[in-house]
Amino acid sequence: MNKTLAFLAILSLAVALPSLETMSHYIADGFEQMEHKFGALHLKKESDSGSDHVIVFPKKGFPSEKEHYAQVHNAMAQAQQNPPPVPQIEQCVEGDLPDFFRFLPTYVLNIIPDGSAHTFSAPCFGQNTISANILDDETIELIHIAEEPSSLLCQDAYFYATVDNYHVTSLFYRGQHRYIFQNLTPAQFQEMTVRGLSIFRFCDHLMYILPDVVATALMFVGSLSANTTSPLGSHPPFWMTDINLDFVKQTTGYVFEKRAENVLVDLDKTLIKSGDFIALTRFGGTPQIIQYGAGGPVGHSVMAIWHDEELWFVESNGGWWWPHDGVQKNKYEDWIQYCWEGDCLVTWLPLKEEYRQKFNATAAWDWFVNGIEGLPYGHHNFIYGWIDTAEHSFPPLLRPELLAPAMSVIEKANPTAADAIYTAGLNMRLGTHNLSIPEIAEILIQKNMTFQELVAVPEQDFWEYNDGYNYVCSAFVVAMWKAGGLFDGYDVQATEWTPRDIYQCEFIDPSPYVPENCKSVDPTNPYCQIMGAWRLTFDGISTVPIYSFMNEHCPSEPPLYERTPGC
């Protein structure tokens, strides 16, 4: 037995391989074993007319074996040897260098194995024809014909994906490229024949994937300590601020305006009333992702409330740099100091006087202290308040078709994190418990429903997860308003609101009183910004009336993030 067949014998423990006799046939026919990025066996044969490929996916999908993680490590190490220059622009067009989130492939089409041909163009090969066929009850053939190259040295990189398995290929040569997906399990075969195979194209050369990841990670990594009690403080370094400013500009078109000076305003706290909204952001990455997904510069939401002659700021906070985690209250003076040390941008947005009078602070406080305070941050519904529609709630590089493959990869790599972020929420929407992404996919096939349609199902305030009720920052503020009676007579789910939804609702005073010490720092600002080197602005402030089921089906696509009436 030669080395290749010995390798195949070992690999058969993790992959549903054909017989060694069949494998010997492929080897004798000129196929060579290739490295595969996603745990499968990959055999390839090239000819003058194109290439033939045989791909045998892992039985349990990727990543399901320890060898899969070694493959990821090796791929990253190879990419690190040839890093590209520092990226500048975030777009998926030919010739650009890698940048924020460009490790994510862009969707091309979905193909059902029925023999029908689909055509499209790509930066390298201007004419592509792709089709798929069923060869038997466990084998599917994909044929990709690439013609009309734009240059001799160009290439297009593709990501062929199902919920459970993935194949990456780079096309350097014109002609026919044939891929045989063999020994599919019944579930894998059903998904390919019913849902089809999703075709994605990478924006970059495969060796640039790691630099893309690094460029994106720099948005989040850089503060010197985990909380403000450290002597080092929690100030984002200048380069982290610059990267996030650039990310927001390139992805949403929003440009933060530099203020003349960053001064901590000594605000008379008696001016702040119960129910008033405190809008803020910080250049730490996560707030900018919220802005990218939902629109508006506000990345965190807080509410003011008076109790026993003390002003408290109440919130749901999951920031690693903040001293406390989860649903909490902090005295005004302490909260201001935490934010000042964290380089926050903070603006006080009062309620209109009629809503200040309507807000029942006692009822809201009682709701807060009787079972809500101390709950964890609402990771379970973080994405669900933002994604309201199946097709029009996704920015350009985070396409809905990528949801299922991406969710499956993350779940297998870190099931705890996946459950916290989305799997528990998907199960809640289906009325199931502890199902994995591939198991959910099987149910969705039976229901004739897509993953993006499932994600868009509105979150319900009464859903209780294994760690209790879940509220992200904006959902918590709205839930406090609900407890205080502002939504009496309306059916509103707090968990469907984003920070932008809050400042656009009619409760907020669009022309509030601005104290003189705020005006002296920033004379042209129509709102009292308590701190921050950059100005916060509020598009469409106080323009959306209150109605039942609001914010449950709203599109949110950059750069305008236009909402439809009654959504």
pLDDT beyond 70 at 284: yes
**How far is 1 from 7, CA to CA, in rounded Å?**
10
Residues 190, 283, single domain; the answer is no
Q: Which residue has the higher pLDDT, 215 or 252?
A: 252
Is there a domain that residue 549 lies in? no
**How far is 31 from 219, CA to CA, in rounded Å?**
43
Residues 341, 413, single domain; the answer is no
pLDDT class of 40 with cuts at 50, 70, 90? confident
pLDDT (0 to 100) of residue 152: 83
- Characterize the bridge pairing of strands 277-281 and 300-307: antiparallel
CA nearest 115: which of 96, 137, 95, 142? 142
Among the candidates 212, 246, 266, a domain finishes at: 212
Residues 167, 244, single domain; the answer is no
Is there a domain that residue 308 lies in? yes
Is there a domain that residue 284 lies in? yes
Instruction: Please report the beta strands in 98-207, taking only residues with DSSP state E, as ranges in sequence order.
Output: 106-111, 118-120, 125-136, 139-149, 156-161, 166-171, 175-182, 197-201
Residues 152, 8, single domain; the answer is yes
Residues 73, 14, single domain; the answer is yes
What DSSP designation does 544 have? Answer: B
pLDDT (0 to 100) of residue 376: 95
pLDDT (0 to 100) of residue 538: 96
Read off the pLDDT of residues 204-215 as tens digits, 9 standing for 90 and up.
666 666 666 666
Question: What average pLDDT does this structure show over 497-506?
Answer: 97
pLDDT (0 to 100) of residue 79: 41
Contact assessment for residue 281 and residue 287, using Cβ atoms and an 8 Å cutoff: yes
Is there a domain that residue 527 lies in? yes
Residues 523, 451, single domain; the answer is no
Q: Is the dihedral of CA 505, 509, 514, 515 positive or negative?
A: negative
Is there a domain that residue 31 lies in? yes
**How far is 42 from 179, CA to CA, in rounded Å?**
10
Average pLDDT, the chain: 84
Give percent of the chain above pLDDT 90. Answer: 56
Angle, in degrees to the nearest 10, between helices 20-28 and 3-11: 140
pLDDT beyond 70 at 539: yes
pLDDT (0 to 100) of residue 31: 74
Residues 203, 279, single domain; the answer is no
Cα dihedral 558, 291, 403, 130 in deg (nearest 10): 30
**How far is 254 from 344, CA to CA, in rounded Å?**
18
> At 418, which helix (H) or strand (E)?
helix 415-418
Residues 477, 435, single domain; the answer is no
Q: Which residue has the higher pLDDT, 43 or 214?
A: 43
pLDDT (0 to 100) of residue 14: 35
In this structure, the number of other CB atoms found within 10 A of the CB of residue 171 comes to: 21
pLDDT beyond 90 at 567: yes
What DSSP designation does 86 have? Answer: P
Residues 479, 364, single domain; the answer is yes
Is there a domain that residue 562 lies in? no
Look up the pTM and report it: 0.79
In CATH, what number is assigned to the domain containing residue 497? 3.90.1720.10
Place of tokens 């603006």: 347
Residues 351, 440, single domain; the answer is no
What DSSP designation does 510 have? Answer: S
What DSSP designation does 508 have? Answer: B
**How far is 410 from 50, CA to CA, in rounded Å?**
34
Place of tokens 């996030």: 244
**How far is 537 from 282, CA to CA, in rounded Å?**
14
Q: Which two tokens stand for residue 500?
A: 């932008």
Contact assessment for residue 42 and residue 160, using Cβ atoms and an 8 Å cutoff: no
Q: Is the dihedral of CA 408, 412, 413, 414 positive or negative?
A: positive
**Burial class, 350, CB count within 10 angstroms (exposed 0-12 / middle 13-18 / buried 19+):** buried
pLDDT (0 to 100) of residue 492: 97
Contact assessment for residue 463 and residue 428, using Cβ atoms and an 8 Å cutoff: yes
**How far is 538 from 466, CA to CA, in rounded Å?**
36
Residues making up the chain, counted from first to last: 567
| Alpha carbon separation from 504 to 180, 288, 349 (Å, rounded) | 53, 19, 11
Is there a domain that residue 227 lies in? no
Q: Which residues pair with residue 106 across a beta bridge?
A: 201
Residues 450, 479, single domain; the answer is no
Q: How many structural domains compose the chain? A: 3
Place of tokens 């390798």: 7
| Alpha carbon separation from 315 to 301, 348, 372, 420, 564 (Å, rounded) | 7, 14, 11, 19, 29
**How far is 345 from 432, CA to CA, in rounded Å?**
41
Residues 479, 376, single domain; the answer is yes
Is there a domain that residue 547 lies in? no
Q: Which two tokens stand for residue 154?
A: 């160009």
Q: What domain range is 204 assigned to?
A: 3-212
Contact assessment for residue 293 and residue 279, using Cβ atoms and an 8 Å cutoff: no
